[in-house]
Amino acid sequence: MVDRPAAHDATDRLRHAFRRYRKPRQMAGCPCCTSETMTRRLIDPNRESVDDDTLDHYAHQALLTWGTVADFKYFLPEIFERTARGQLGPLSDFEAVLGNLSKFGGFDDWPEPERAAVRQWLSAQFLAVPEAVKSLPDDWPRRERLNWANALLAGGDPLLGDVTPLLNAADEAYPHFRLLYAIQHSNQTKHKLDGWWDKESENYRRMLDWLYPGGAVC
């Protein structure tokens, strides 16, 4: 069985797990990617008061050309929450943020409570999607929720561990979710997935097995 924490509970746990990180007083950054003015806009206010454009820009430069891992951990809950509310850039960018967290953030070496909080938040967000898709009458909102599910799974691939329990839970919540996901986020002829998937990962294989059991869409 999958633990299905409510999204707000997972968000509370995320904030609790990263509460010890303090607002940076200064942040070094690549002069081609940011500026002192942008840095002050990021670190002068409390993180909840940073404007969306500045936080969005930081999210894409963090762990690459702007600040430290500790700086990113301070902003992480705010980045995650605003992305879930649709306040930051396209969802494909969030896939990149999660990918950078895995590749350049040393996620596997983070304290277990922090890793667990990230995994729980991603899982809770995903588990809310099938029920939402089931209840939405219009095509466009359903597409947006499916895009969110894909961003969480593709970007979160190296962070989540085995996604099989999440996929099983999605089937239980809404049996047609699998088909809708396959139509929107895979090549049904070549049996390939869209997004930032590592094509060699175990979760990529699990996703294909879920979408195409026996080689056909269910």
DSSP string, 98-114: HHHHHHHS-GGGS-HHH
Tell me: pLDDT of 203 over 50.
Answer: yes
Distance CA 135, CA 109 (A): 39
pLDDT tens for 63-111 read 999 999 999 999 999 999 999 999 998 877 899 999 999 999 999 999 9
Tell me: pLDDT of 1 over 90.
Answer: no
pLDDT at site 147: 93
Q: With bands split at pLDDT 50, 70 and 90, how would you rate the model's confidence at 4? A: low
pLDDT at site 166: 97
Tell me: pLDDT of 218 over 50.
Answer: no
CB atoms within 10 A of CB 106: 11
Distance CA 21, CA 71 (A): 8
Q: Which residues contact residue 205 at a Cβ distance below 8 angstroms, ignoring those fewer than 6 apart? A: none
Q: Which residues contact residue 198 at a Cβ distance below 8 angstroms, ignoring those fewer than 6 apart? A: 157, 158, 204
Q: Which two tokens stand for residue 163?
A: 């996604």
pLDDT tens for 47-56 read 999 999 999 9
